[in-house]
């Protein structure tokens, strides 16, 4: 076989169809070293069993500074150091801090609390789709897939309507490509976000409301609370993970179903399939392409490859979700697939706390879309659509559609 060409993991061209490379990596180089735009050199882990193993193995941590040697800390790129103040959420911590933070956040983010949002999510979906129907031709991403979860998480956090687009711009900047130019542009964004969030938190301390930030300020577990830095990191996590990944779930799901008319008609004929259909979309499109980095806390061997202490690992969820050793016909979309043990939400202690919300939004959004829009179709060839230049996520830049009969 010819050598594997180093991929540009964050490029739009690669994001359009990363699956052939992932299949080759699983077969030939299941632990494969790459170089990122910021010059970091992580290992990609691509097989299902190895991905699950890495996510469960306590020798792989999320606290990068704690896992690195002094020499490795000195070599950290600027952009990684800039993100450090925002890594104080549970996503960037290891036990026992992770255990404490997750317990605190969970009190304000329970499945029961999320289920109470069902009516509001349906109301938003209907309002947005009514506007779409009036226009006839729209970018479904900006007209529907984006505003629905953005509004939901903003209302949950208590962000005023006038500030929501501002939060969207900040979140876009914070998830942009890791490059030197991006790091320079990130400095004022981090400053604005930090200043705004600190002020917002203090307002909720003095005058609590019926929102998630107020609940987090007041949450207690064994007499402990979230400190100011942990609150800041948690708000950042909820802002980004709370809506951007769900935008991808809705838009990627609509894109995939429109390309598979047989599966779409199957779903329209049997609306009860929406639950398994969303699970299949999560597996098939993997809105989160790969996890946030894990760092080896000691020398570890994965699939015969030695990973040294302090080295970074990216568990490729999109590859694990197409692993032929785990899924029959993995490159086929099957809205009734059972069983479906995908890892789109990660695994183990860092399993996505917002999984229930993402599933609920995805189910309501996609079912409403395809039930109300029987003539929905692409407004331009699907192969011409551009994908976002992002490392960890996989999502479209746009999704132009026509909703009226041809």
pLDDT reported for residue 175: 64
User: Which segment of 59-73, 148-162, 276-290, 353-367 scores lowest on mean pLDDT?
Assistant: 59-73
Q: Which is more confidently placed, 69 or 200?
A: 200
Question: Using an 8 Å Cβ cutoff, are 228 and 198 in contact?
Answer: yes
> Contact at 8 Å (CB) between 256 and 286?
no
Q: What is the rounded CA–CA span in Å between residue 404 and residue 137? A: 8
Peptide bond into 31 cis (omega under 30): no
- Residue 309: CB atoms within 10 A of its CB come to 15
| Of the ranges 55-64, 135-144, 349-358, the best mean pLDDT one | 135-144
Q: Which two tokens stand for residue 67?
A: 């896992």
Mean pLDDT of the chain: 87
- Nearest 5°: the CA angle 355, 361, 367 is 130
Q: Tell me the pLDDT band of 118, cut-offs 50, 70 and 90.
A: very high
pLDDT for the residue 243: 82
Counting Cα atoms < 13 Å in the Cβ hemisphere of 249 gives 29
> For 328-374, what is each residue's pLDDT tens digit?
999 999 999 999 999 999 987 778 888 999 999 999 999 999 999 99
Beta bridge partners of 386: none
What is the pLDDT at residue 259? 97
Weakest-pLDDT range from 10-24, 59-73, 169-183, 285-299: 169-183
Which of the two residues, 350 and 290, has the higher pLDDT score?
290
- Identify the three-state secondary structure at position 315: strand
Highest-confidence range of 41-45, 212-216, 351-355, 389-393, by mean pLDDT? 41-45
Which residue ranges make up each domain of the chain? 12-402
pLDDT on residue 84: 59
The residue ranking higher by pLDDT, 19 or 162, is 19
| The token pair that represents 378 in the structure block | 């692409």
How is domain 12-402 classified at the architecture level of CATH? Orthogonal Bundle (1.10)
* Segment 131-141 mean pLDDT: 95
- Measure the CA–CA gap between 400 and 406, rounded to whole angstroms: 15
Between CA 266 and CA 274, with CA 269 as vertex, the angle to 5 degrees is 70
Tens-place pLDDT, residues 77-108: 655 555 555 566 666 677 777 777 777 777 76
Contact between 346 and 375 under an 8 Å Cβ cutoff? The reply is no
pLDDT at residue number 167? 78
Please state, in angstroms and as integers, the Cα–Cα distance from residue 285 to each residue in 19, 30, 257, following that order.
10, 20, 11
Is cis: bond before 339, omega within 30 of 0? Answer: yes
pLDDT band, residue 187 (cuts 50/70/90): confident
371: its two tokens: 């039930």
Residue 79 and residue 182 in contact, taking contact as beta carbons nearer than 8 Å: yes
């Amino acid at each position: 076989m010819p050598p594997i060409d180093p991929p540009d993991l964050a490029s739009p061209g690669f994001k359009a169809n990363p699956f052939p490379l992932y299949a080759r990596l699983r077969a030939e180089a299941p632990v494969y070293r790459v170089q990122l735009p910021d010059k970091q050199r992580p290992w990609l882990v691509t097989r299902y069993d190895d991905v699950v193993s890495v996510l469960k193995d306590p020798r792989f941590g999320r606290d990068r500074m704690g896992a690195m040697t002094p020499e490795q800390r000195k070599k950290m790129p600027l952009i990684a150091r800039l993100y450090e103040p925002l890594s104080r959420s549970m996503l960037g911590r290891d036990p026992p801090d992770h255990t404490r933070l997750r317990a605190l956040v969970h009190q304000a983010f329970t499945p029961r609390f999320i289920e109470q949002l069902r009516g509001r999510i349906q109301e938003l979906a209907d309002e947005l789709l009514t506007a779409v129907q009036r226009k006839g031709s729209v970018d479904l991403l900006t007209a529907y897939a984006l505003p629905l979860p953005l509004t939901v998480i903003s209302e949950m956090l208590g962000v005023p309507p006038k500030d929501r687009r501002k939060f969207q711009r900040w979140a876009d900047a914070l998830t942009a490509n890791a490059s030197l130019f991006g790091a320079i542009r990130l400095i004022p964004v981090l400053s604005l976000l930090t200043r705004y969030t600190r002020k917002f938190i203090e307002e909720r301390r003095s005058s609590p409301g019926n929102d998630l930030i107020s609940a987090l300020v007041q949450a207690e577990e064994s007499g402990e609370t979230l400190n100011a830095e942990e609150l800041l990191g948690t708000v950042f996590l909820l802002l980004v993970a709370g809506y951007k990944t769900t935008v991808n779930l809705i838009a990627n799901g609509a894109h995939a179903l429109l390309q598979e008319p047989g599966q779409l008609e199957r779903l329209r004929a049997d609306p009860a399939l929406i639950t398994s259909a969303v699970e299949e979309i999560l597996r098939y499109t993997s809105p989160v392409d790969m996890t946030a980095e894990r760092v080896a806390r000691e020398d570890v061997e994965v699939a015969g490859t030695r990973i040294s202490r302090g080295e970074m690992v990216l568990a490729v969820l999109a590859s694990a979700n197409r692993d032929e050793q785990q899924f029959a016909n993995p490159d086929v979309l099957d809205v009734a697939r059972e069983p479906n043990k995908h890892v789109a939400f990660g695994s183990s202690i860092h399993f996505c706390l917002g999984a229930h919300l993402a599933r609920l939004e995805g189910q309501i959004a996609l079912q409403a879309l395809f039930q109300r829009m029987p003539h929905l179709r692409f407004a331009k060839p699907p192969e011409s659509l551009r994908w976002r230049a992002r490392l960890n996520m996989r999502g479209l830049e746009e999704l132009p559609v026509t909703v009226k009969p041809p």
